[in-house]
Structures are given as C-alpha cells and as structure tokens.
Amino acid sequence: MAQHQFQTEVSRLLHLIIHSLYSNREIFLRELVSNASDALDKLKYLTVADEAYKTLSLDPRIDISFNKDEKTLTISDNGIGMNETDLIDSLGTIARSGTRIFLEKLAEDAKKDSNLIGQFGVGFYSAFMAADKIDVISRKANENASWKWSSDGKDGFEIENVSETAGRGSQGTTVILHLTDEGAEYANRWSIEDIIKRYSNHVAFPIYLTYEDKQWDDKGNEKASITKTDRINSGTALWRRSKSELKEEDYNEFYKQLGHDSEEPLHYIHTKAEGTLEYSTIFYIPKKAPFDLYNVDYKPGVKLYVKRVFITDDDKELMPVYLRFVRGVIDSEDLPLNVSREILQQNKILANIKSASVKKLLSEFKQMADNAVSGGDEAKEKWETFISQFNRPLKEGLYQDFANRDTIQDLVRFKSTAVEGWTSFADYVGRMKSDQKNIYYITGGTGGAEEKTLRSSPLLEAYRAKEIEVLIMDDDIDDLIIPTLHSYRKETPGADGKTETQSWDLKGVNRAGADEELGENKNRDAEKEAKPVLEKIKKALGDRVKDVKLSRRLHDSPSCIVADDNDPSMQMAQMLKAMGQASMQEIKPILEVNGDHPIVMGLKNIDDEDRIADVSGVLLDQALLVEGIKLTDPSDFVKRLNRLLS
Ligand code: ADP
C-alpha cells in the first residue's frame, strides 16, 4: 500500500469544502454522475475511433446503490476507468492554473462564494461534503490490474492493488462514500431519485438505482424484502429532441448539469439545422460570468458531439474567445467520429457550424437588446444583467471578430456624459446635433481610471460647454480597443430601397485632433496674444513635452495634456512601460493651456526664469495628475507648488 500526499491546493480546497461549503451539499452527486458520464463518453469514443478498443463490448451504464445501516453510497460506471497513475494525477492534484487562482480568491471569502463550488472543475472533491472517507476502485479499459484509492480527505490518500473488479464489466470505476452523519440523508431512495431527476435527468446514459423494496404486514412487521433496480433518468440527448416537446424546465435543468451552475440560465437557444449541413446546437448564457472568464487557461464551455458521441469538452476553437462565457453543445451529423484535434482545427464543416452559431448568438443578443427597449421590465432587466456581465468580453469581439464587427458595434454599451446608465453608439448618434461630425469618447487608460476621475477631467470642459456628448470609457480594455475602431457605421434603409451607410469618426478627447468641432478661440487674436506665454512655458519645460499649445477645450482648468494623434495615450504608455516594454521610445504629451486662465495669463508679466519654471512645472504636473498619471518626480512638484504658495 502506498501513501501519497495531496498537492497543497487540494488540501486547501478540501479544507474549504469540509469547513465552509455546506450550502448546496447535494451537488456532489451531480458531480460524481457527471464524472461517470464523462468516463463513459471517453470509452465510447475509443470503441469507435481506436482499433485497440473495437472488440470491447460496451453496454454503458451508471449504477447507484446505498446501505442505510452502514451509511454508504456507491456510484459505479463501466467507463474508461483509471490506473494507478491516473488515480494519483486525477484525484490528488488540481491541474488547471485558472482553478488554482480562483481557489485563492475563494479562500478569502469562502462562504459568499460557496455555490460556485461546482463551477471550477473540482467536482470529485465535493463528495467530501457528505463523506468522511471515500474509496475509489477502478480498472482501466484494456488493462488487467484494479486499483483502490482511499482517503479521509485530510492530507493524503492511499493506493493499493486489489483483486476486486470495479464496476459492472471488465473496466470502470466504483466510488464508495462513507457518509458523515449529515450526509447520511443521501442513503435514501427518494433523495437520490430526486437529486438525479433534478440535475442529471438528461445524462445520455442510463442511471440505475438499486434499493430494497420492503413489504409490510398489517402489524407493521417486515414481510418481505425484494432487491429492485429501476432506471431513474430519462437519458435522451436533450438537444436532439424537438423544441415542441421540451419545456423551459427541461432546458434549465440540463443547463445546471452542463454548466455546473445552481442558478438558472439567463437565456437559451436551441437550433436544429437541416440541409447541406446537419447539426443541432444548444447554447446557454449564464446569469453570472464564469469565474475564470479572465484567465488565459479558462475552461471552454461548449462540448462537441458527433452523432451523439461525445468528442471533446476542451476545445477552445469551438467558440471565439470573446464568446467564451457561452455554455452548450454542438452535435454534428457530418463530421467523422475519429476527428482529431488537428483535424478539427482546419475542418470546414466545423468552421461553418461555428460561424453560423456565432451569427445566431449575436442575433439573439441583438434581439435581447431590442426587447429591452420595446418589452417590459423583465426584458429590460435581462438585458441589463447581460450587459453587466458580458459587455467587456463582447468589446473584445470588436477586434477579434472582424466579420461581425458591425453587429458587435451595436451590442456594446458605454457610459456617457449625456444620460444615466448604459448607452449605445446608435443612441449617441440619435442624440447628436445635426452638425456634429464625430463621436467623442474619453478613456482612462489600461489602468482603468475610475468613472469619477474621467467625468471630472478638464478635457471635457469645452465639450460640456458646447453640449457635445462624450462617452465615458472606464473599462481597462477600452483604451486598447476603441482606438482600433476608427469609426461607427450604421446602415439605414434609404428612400429607393437601397441601404444607406452612414459613418461617424470616433475621436478620443485626449487626442490632439479631437478639438476641431470646439470652434475657434473666442478672441481672434488669442493665438497671437498667447504666443509669448506659450514660448516661455515651452522653454521652461524643455523636452518634458512634445509641444505647448493654446487649448480650445478648456473652460475652468488652466491646463490639460493630450496625445499626438499617432502616439499611444499617456496612460497606455505608462502601462507598456510597467509591462517591461522599456525599449519603447518615451512618449511625451502635448500640454494645452487655457488662454483665459489667470495663472496662464499671469505668466505674461513674469520674467524671473525660476518662477516661470515653477508655474510651468505645476501646470504640466497637475494636468498629469488629473488624468491619473503617476508623476516621475513628485517631490519636485511639491517643492515648486510650495514655493508658489509662499
Ligand atoms: P473534472 O471532472 O472537472 O475534471 P474531478 O475532480 O471531478 O474534475 O475529476 C478529476 C478527474 O478524475 C477527471 O477529469 C477524470 O480524469 C478523473 N475521474 C473522476 N471520476 C472518474 C470516473 N468515474 N472514471 C474515470 N475517471 C474519473
């Protein structure tokens, strides 16, 4: 018998499971059944795709039994099985780094996130919510040895070679739970049936429950006891059934199992395509973004089946990255069963299914957005939930999915200086005065400035005065994505039946060229008058700035910084530097000053060079500070400011 230690993360997880996460204890059964079903899927696939397994006769099934007196619950499958190495790797470690990162976050606030437990692929360990000892007996398909894994879920596990057969056939896995006092309620026919119906009814393999059916005489004594085995799930692939025979509950139930979610989905889309391509898809939008949405090694949410045979649930190619929050199934009639991952990547059929699925999803999102305008409160709330969770990944689609860019442009939402809540590009141009040429926005850089900071930026002053709306982009990816858009296009049906395309340029207000619509400076001679002042400042600041200009966008503030049209913004430059892009040439801002401001105009009559240097330095540094940019020499700023104050 060999003793093994759990990987540190597993110990931490188990500790959490045992001490904090009781809120939804029953889901452990769903997790074990789902593992059994995956194991059957894997073996079924091998029997059709791999010569070595073709002779194996497979009657796939999952069996559940229990013993009330001994407080045990047993789940068996005749799937792929595990050998010694598999047991050590699968039931002693957590492979995905995303899961590990999530666990760290979870540890801080375990109770609050307790119902996320099933969502991050640590399914098996959840059985320790109901058991204080677990035995797993397993034999891998086409191998001769059986192995027994045992653990009390504390710090390690034991593995030994055993003679028992696991599961029904010659291969498979049996999981025996030694239930805790609280877990003992699951050694019961009715609770098992209830849980399986609720979570695992659509598992594609039959699930059988074995129980003692007791007969009682008139006096209440046991007359006879017969062992019965009933099938307890309906087990049809839900996506292959016709929509008319399915109820909303069926869809919701299937989602909970598929998405490891205890909540109902926000939305579902069931499609059956017939014709040149034959396939079924079912897609779900969760109510909450998956925990690993922003991890590079996120777990993909869409499973691929071919003619109802499970192929993979770990192929990121099935959905574009920006739609990684979608959960669901793609089942194709046309793909060969023995598709390999490499083949999948260049497969035309799959590419077509994928592109049709993306179009379908985007058009459903559009419908959801339209319903929010024309429908009732519920439709509005649904759309708001959607945007609050998925606006950001959708924005990624603006640069990832060029073919659907126009559709995505109408889905993404922004905050604005003109209205409360979310608004779209289409709404913006709808509100625009007839002579306005561009759409204006302000970004906070990839550090993601706070909305409040952006709203009080001096860059907005003149736009506010002229009642020009500015979109507030406080998402940290806005600064990367929005400038790549260049313009917003809208197609409207023209008078003669042709579609007319209108287009508006998108302009960041922190850009040198974004002030053309703000009008000339009030005083014609302003430029001339300000010239000596500008020159004084320029001389004082030297190579800290690219240029010093008279501003058209300032009303109350004395100064602001803008980026040259072809330069990255200052915030962006700061981020690139932080990321170690030191080789990047230093980006210098353009300083704009307000010719009507007393501080600026005051410089006219000052000739003391030290004093000019102090005022100019403060004008630049305060403009940087308001934009949330870190000063390279804060003490220099403070010294200058103090000299001026005294
Ligand atoms: P997940 O199922 O999300 O991968 P689990 O912790 O539930 O996470 O399971 C870990 C791994 O253990 C599985 O990926 C699988 O390789 C293996 N495993 C668990 N249960 C079984 C089973 N009944 N038959 C075969 N392998 C299993």
Closest CA to 424 of 436, 438, 410: 410
**Spans of the chain, pLDDT less than 70:** 20-23, 95-122, 165-169, 337-342, 445-449, 519-524, 570-585
Question: Which tokens hold the place of 420?
Answer: 């409360």
- Tell me if 518 sits within 8 A of 552, measured CB to CB: yes
Determine the atom of ligand 1 nearest the C-alpha atom of 172.
Answer: 24
Q: Is the CB of 74 under 6 A from ligand 1?
A: no
* DSSP character string of 48-116: HH-GGGTT------EEEEEETTTTEEEEEE-SS---HHHHHHHTT----HHHHHHHHHHHHTTTTTGGG
What are the DSSP E strand ranges found in 494-574? 499-508, 547-550, 559-562
96 lines ligand 1 (CB under 6 A): no
pLDDT tens across 142-165, in order? 999 999 999 999 889 999 999 876
Place of tokens 């996460």: 21
Establish whether residue 63 lines the binding site of ligand 1, counting it when its CB lies within 6 angstroms of any ligand atom: no
**pLDDT score for 362:** 98
The number of the ligand 1 atom at minimal distance from the alpha carbon of 36 is 23
Q: How far apart are CA 284 and CA 268, in angstroms?
A: 4
The whole-number pLDDT of residue 563 equals 84
State whether the beta carbon of 36 lies less than 6 angstroms from ligand 1: yes
- 137 CB near ligand 1 (under 6 Å): no
- Please choose, from the candidates 617, 511, 622, 509, the residue with its C-alpha nearest in 3D space to the C-alpha of residue 564: 511
The encoded tokens of residue 393 equal: 């990944």
Helices marked H in 375-433 = 377-400, 405-409, 425-431
Token readout for 291 is 């925990």
pLDDT single digits (tens) 374-417? 989 999 999 999 999 999 999 999 989 999 999 999 999 999 99
**Residue 488, phi then psi, degrees to nearest 5:** -115, 130
Half-sphere exposure of 154 (CA within 13 A, CB side): 5
**Dihedral (C-alpha) 419, 420, 425, 429: value to the nearest 10 degrees?**
-10
Predicted local confidence at residue 343, as pLDDT: 72
Task: Take atom 23 of ligand 1 and give the residue whose Cα is closest.
Answer: 36
* Ligand 1, atom nearest to 122 Cα: 6
Distances (CA, A) of 469 to 55, 390, 432: 70, 25, 8
Give 38 Cα–ligand 1 centroid separation in angstroms.
8
CB atoms within 10 A of CB 110: 18
pLDDT at 450: 80
pLDDT of residue 580: 59
Task: Give the amino acid at 598.
Answer: P
What sign does the dihedral 278-282-285-290 (CA atoms) show? negative
Minimum CA distance residue for ligand 1 atom 19: 35
Please choose from 9, 33, 35 the residue to mutate so as to test ligand 1's pocket, defined by most ligand atoms within 8 A of CB.
35
